[in-house]
Structure 1
């Protein structure tokens, strides 16, 4: 008998410990299920209702941003996706691969800017007018090295320019020629820096450090589209990404600097602007501008891509790169890791052939891919960047639409950024107040 007592006590302790572990696991599982249930309840409420903080009431999400004040203080109409258009050419532009600065007069005549009397203040002023605040630089380019179309008209700064004016055009006067024999070439940011590299359908896994402008545009923390960072405050995406979804800004976030798909670290937006001419049926003018709530700090995994200059010449067949987390096959699931694919530019006349896309293609669109199929952007890549490597990476397209994904004879169609530069620069220049109220 004395020998069996210790064994009995040990068995009892083991049973109590086992019961304690089971109870703890049950409690933890119950808490996890409650937390998960609470998450989905909150998510359901957010998808269906908007909370009016001022009047402590809920209104249907469909009533938010509908032009009518449903909250007592109208807060449901204060922060909404805007639709803005511009009817005139932006008066300042950078032309060709050499980024020659040109300005237009009241008659819409373009003139190259001579180098005489130019200084760093003017460089900063023009870059600020173009919507950039980071690392502006200028250099002098000999007139003799320019193509003839950039030498037809010139303007130069007055001897004593009025530096109080933020509009550089007011300090310029027409000239027959540049006495300095040089014109100004301008670079407004350290965009599109090249990083050496020792799925998008048919693509390959990559890292965000190689494409640090890549953005994930998320609706209630779910990835719906890609985007491209073009400055420390602005992201470009597609207009159709916001169709049929909540127009209230609080539903949207942008995630930057991530290779693997995540909702962590999302940045809220103080303005989402859809092109005023956007056609949701024909996909024309399929572009949007997203202004982040704060400036991001450029680094190895977050860095803007360059906007293309006016008159950028890319030949048919030249290689472009598209990146995103889109589906790896038509109607498949999103990729968990960033993918990239190299696709050649397809000439507009070829892509607008009746056997491909015909009259559905507009001048605001370009095609890239293989007519034999096999490599393409797909669902979830929409709004993402199509880039071209000149001296730096330049954003030439935004993933827009196509018939299926990677089908034979149906390449990807992209919004042609070079055709929309006037609108992009106008949106970057306009004040935040105007952007939010003007929708």
Structure 2
């Protein structure tokens, strides 16, 4: 009996020792995990702080003060610190392709001949595809024929261009020659992408909550993962926004684009490859307040991520426009977590240019929208976002630019007039595709 009792005591002792070792192992592993996690988190925030203070020259393994990056001088031996910066572009020529009016009638610019409305004579599918590629689009190129008698803009019927030659060039104007007649009696209407369509029905100050599927082109431009400005998706590669969003934030690698989200949470954005700001942009006058952002890779389109249409020339606006964004709900107020929308009317330029409103501050590259009595307006955080109009499809009429305060009486919102900068927009997309 004594021997049996001794064996039991030894067994119990071994069990206790085993449990103690197990507990010690668990405690050791937990401590190791905590220490490792602390080190990783600490390293992450250390790197983040360093990135805000210094630029790492990977070619020479040295650091450069952040103030010296994008200052026009190469501080890294290979100039690496000047290769990650916002670029500027001014164009002096005429982009040779444009769409005109509600029917999207195609015109081509012929040197020494001016603008010619493209007749449907000899027009083929390859010409449609080539023209859309020249406009910077590759998605769903298609064209239709419009009878001359249904064209309501007389200036489109003054001079024609027809396909009369074959060419190995990649520009449509090399196929077109001037003609006094259009034998087929029809002109070409062009559509280059599945844009301006939404899956939804049809805070901004005075706005209401909305959903991204109703405005699937709306994006958030984020600097260091913080929302700074809005933007609008134009194609699978290109975003349009405001030039002033990038003032003082010229390092492309710190920008990202979040899309397809109604609420801005902790969502990882698409990285940015190139940012192009209009070279004539002025911080003093806010003139030419437009920028183009190229994504690192094409985005996959879906119900909540779709491009908006660029407007044609001479589009007649008859109804309300819509502005969307995550900007402040009131002047000096809070930023909403949910996307906001507001309906605003277009204000005649002569009204907006009155001394009591904005006077000579309104340039030909600007338009005004909102209410003279105030109450509804874009605000801080909405900058760069889209002002859209529903014609046959949703079309981008303006980019949120500036204003005095938010929703103040007599001070409506001022937007970059997209129709006045189509030449620049198309040129940027063509040059960088």
TM-score (structure 1 length as normaliser): 0.89
Which residue is 1:71 aligned to?
76
SS of the residue corresponding to residue 268 of structure 1 reads strand
**2:174 aligned with 1:170, yes or no?**
yes
| Equivalent residue, structure 2, for 1:307 | 310
Q: 1:180 is matched with which residue?
A: 184
Secondary structure of the structure 1 residue equivalent to 2:161? strand
1:104 equivalenced with 2:109 (yes/no)? yes
Give the conservation status (yes or no) of the 8 Å contact 1:191–1:304: yes
* Cα deviation, residue 387, structure 1: 0.3
TM alignment of 1:281-430, pairs within 5 A: 281-315=284-318, 318-430=319-431
Cα contact 2:113–2:178 (8 A) shared by 1: no
Instruction: Name the CA shift for 1:183/1:86 in 2 (closer, same or farther; >3 Å).
Output: same
Structure 1 residue 25, shift from structure 2 partner: 10
**Cα–Cα, structure 1 residues 150 and 257, in superposed 2: closer, same or farther, change >3 Å?**
same
Number of residue pairs aligned between Structure 1 and Structure 2? 411
Could you tell me how far 1:370 is from its partner in structure 2? Answer: 1.1
Residues 321 and 108 (structure 1), Cα distance of their counterparts in 2 relative to 1, 3 Å cut? farther
1:151 to 138, 151, 157: 157
Confirm or deny that 1:228 pairs with 2:232: yes
Alpha-carbon RMSD: 2.3
Cα offsets for 1:204-233 (capped at 9, x unmatched) = 111111111011111111110000000111
Q: Distance in 2 between matches of 1:101 and 1:52?
A: 48
Report the counterpart of residue 4 of structure 1 in structure 2: none
Distance 1:250 1:263, change over 3 A: farther
Deviation, structure 1 residue 341? 0.9
Deviation at 1:39, TM superposition (A): 4.2
Tell me what 2:220 maps to.
216
Provide Cα deviations, 1:403-428, integer angstroms capped at 9, x if missing partner.
Answer: 00011111111000000000001111
Quick one: structure 1 residues 409 and 37, their matched pair in 2 at CA, closer, same or farther if it must change by over 3 Å?
Answer: farther
> Paired residue for 1:435?
none
Distance in 2 separating the partners of 1:362 and 1:180: 42
Pairwise mapping of residues 187-206 of structure 1 onto structure 2 (< 5 A)?
A: 187-197=191-201, 199-206=203-210
The yes-or-no answer on 1:272 pairing with 2:278 is no
| Consecutive unaligned residues in structure 1, runs of 5 or more | 1-20, 433-439
Conserved 8 A contact 1:255-1:263:
no
> 2:113 aligned with 1:127, yes or no?
no
Deviates more, 1:389-398 or 1:333-342: 333-342
Residue in 2 that maps onto 1:260: 263
CA distance in 2, matches of 1:22, 1:404: 58
Q: 1:103 Cα deviation (Å)?
A: 0.8
In 2, distance between residues paired with 1:99 and 1:163? 25
Closer/same/farther in 2, CA of residues 152 and 377 from structure 1, 3 Å limit: same
* Distance of 2:410 and 2:40 partners within structure 1: 49
> SS at the partner of 1:430?
helix
Alignment CA distance shift 1:33-1:284 (3 Å): same
Aligned to 1:50: 55
**Whole-Å separation in 2 of the counterparts to 1:261 and 1:280:** 28
For structure 2, the residue ranges without an aligned partner over 5 or more in a row are 1-25
Structure ID, larger Rg: 2
**1:198–1:350: structure 2 CA closer, same or farther, 3 Å change rule?**
closer
Distance in 1 (CA, whole Å) between partners of 2:266 and 2:188 is 43
CA gap 1:192/1:165 in 2 versus in 1, 3 angstroms: same
